[in-house]
Amino acid sequence: MGYGPHRFLWKALWKLDTLPKIRVFAWRVGHEILPTNSKIASIRQDFDKGCPRCGVETETVLHALKDCPTSRAVLSIGGWSRSFISKNYDHCIDWLEDLMRVLDKRAMADLITTLWNYWNNRNNFIFRGKEEEAKQIWERANNLTKEFQICNMMNEPLMSQNVVEKKWNKPPKGFIKINFDATVGENRIGYGMVVRDEEGFVLGGGGGFKEGGMSVEETECVAFEESIKVARRLQLKNTFFLRPTMWGWSTD
């Protein structure tokens, strides 16, 4: 996710009440890494960078999702005012930030879901020759949003809300904190860790898999050992190691 001038945007995107794959889609939109014709043409010679739907010379992410007449029709049916559509931007991330300044969490999730459905419809048009009308695209997005909200209201949470630590806490002043965890699969384990300083800035991290059956305790030890290796590689001192069950060790 990272830190920087847009760090609040990235945090807000990952908190949207929608499907994980749609949050990933929003992240890709913000970074403008969707495979539009313009993006493909930048790495492939003699590839037509024009919009396959309206014929405009260059199909950027902004054009595909906001400026193409088909996308504008979908957004208009969804009730989005002209001010959301007509303003010009150089980068997608600026458009998303402007939207987040006026939309609440639910409205933003609805919009991203609509854009995701529209992008899928665009791909179906290109690769399968099938295309839905603007109203159908909007209705599909609207139904998906409702189903997600109903499911999350009716189903019991998978984990108890009585967790010991609901958010990341700063380490003692002058210390580095490494959060690590591991999972046990069938004949395979996975582990990961992230390194932050006392202000929460990410200094590094890592993760991986190991083949073979292990107990939960052995898996946790592997994750701890790998975290120590990361600390040594980064030449860290005054390091505080923590896993979800609140085991903690400090080294100097």
Tens digit of pLDDT at every position of the chain (252 positions): 444 566 777 888 888 878 888 888 888 888 888 999 999 999 998 999 999 888 899 999 999 988 888 888 777 766 665 666 778 888 888 888 888 887 778 778 888 888 888 888 888 888 877 766 655 655 655 555 454 443 343 344 333 444 444 466 788 888 888 888 887 777 778 888 888 888 777 777 777 778 877 887 888 888 888 888 888 888 888 888 887 654 444 444
- Give 106's contacts (C-beta < 8 A, 6+ positions apart): 17
**Across-strand partners of 210?**
189
Separation in Å, CA 145 to CA 28, 89, 98, 112, 122:
20, 27, 22, 10, 20
Domains along the chain with CATH numbers: 7-154 (no CATH), 176-251 (3.30.420.10)
List the 188-196 sheet strands across, edge first: 202-211, 188-196, 176-185, 239-242, 248-251
Q: How far is CA 187 from CA 211, 214, 215, 218, 219, in A?
A: 6, 8, 10, 13, 12
Beta carbons of 195 and 234 less than 8 angstroms apart: yes
Residue type, 200: G
